[in-house]
Amino acid sequence: MNALIWIVLPYACLAVFTAGHVWRWRHDQFGWTTHTSQLLENRLLRLGSPLFHLGAFGVIGGHAMGLLIPASWTAAVGVSEHTYHLVSVTGGTITGIMLVVGLALLIARRFVNGRIRRVTTTMDKILYAALAAMVVLGMSGTVVINLFGDGYDYRETIAVWFRGIFWFQPDPSLMSGAPLVFQLHAIGGFLFLALWPFTRLVHVWSAPLAYLWRPYVVYRGRRTPAPAPQPAPAAVRDTAQPTADADTHGQQAVTTRS
């Protein structure tokens, strides 16, 4: 059972994550978007979206540092375990609170506003439920165990197992002694990766990063009066038509008198 959960499941989820993105790009490019509902409601979105995204960036960055950077590397540069623990718990708590508040506002927006609720799809509901579960498990491990509890050094067990997945040498025994909340968080993380390509989260890979180095657009004021707007072609035709008809009738009248 340990091998199934801690070896087979991660690789299966990573395979679905990769193949799902390829399938989505080839068969649903028009759906590769945020499906924004800003035009329907902007008040809660304007507050919840920045909190959620900033909190998510902080949480993802904290996970990357904790799981990918070995403890020996931070010790080699003079960062003690106590300092690392203090920084990681403080930063994780702050960014986690931002993520919780932002996600709560986005979920409330979906169900309180009738117009937003009508355009919320089944996959949106599954996505928000998965996000909420991940956030609850993550905050439980950070706050309940590491902040107010006895603490757990995941860098010696979970992080080593996680890095072993990418070296094709995962050791399931490292996860057997981890607290249940950390185990559920790890399983939920890989299941969330399998869900990713079938949700609106695919827009992450199409983020307009070029805006960061795009040159400024310079607007100059007009010193002379603006020219009169040119009439539309349809208006010109409508104006010219009665004149042409009058000229035709005039020619016919001259011909008759002759």
For residue range 212-227, list pLDDT tens digits in order: 566 655 556 666 776 7
CATH number, domain 2-212: 1.20.950.20
- pLDDT at site 51: 93
Whole-Å CA distances, 163 to 136, 167, 168, 174, 203: 24, 7, 9, 12, 27
CA distance 76 to 225: 68
Confidence at residue 129, expressed as pLDDT on a 0 to 100 scale: 95
pLDDT of residue 34: 79
Which positions of the chain have pLDDT values less than 50?
246, 253-258
Q: What is the pLDDT of residue 153?
A: 87
Pick out the residues of the known binding site: 53, 63, 185, 203
Positions of E strands within the chain? none
Which long-range contacts link 65-71 to residues 24+ away (Cβ below 8 Å)? Answer: 66/154, 66/155, 66/159, 67/158, 67/159, 67/162, 67/163, 68/159, 68/162, 68/163, 70/155, 70/159, 70/163, 71/155, 71/156, 71/159
Binding-site residues for heme b sit at 53, 63, 185, 203
- Tell me what pLDDT residue 89 has: 87
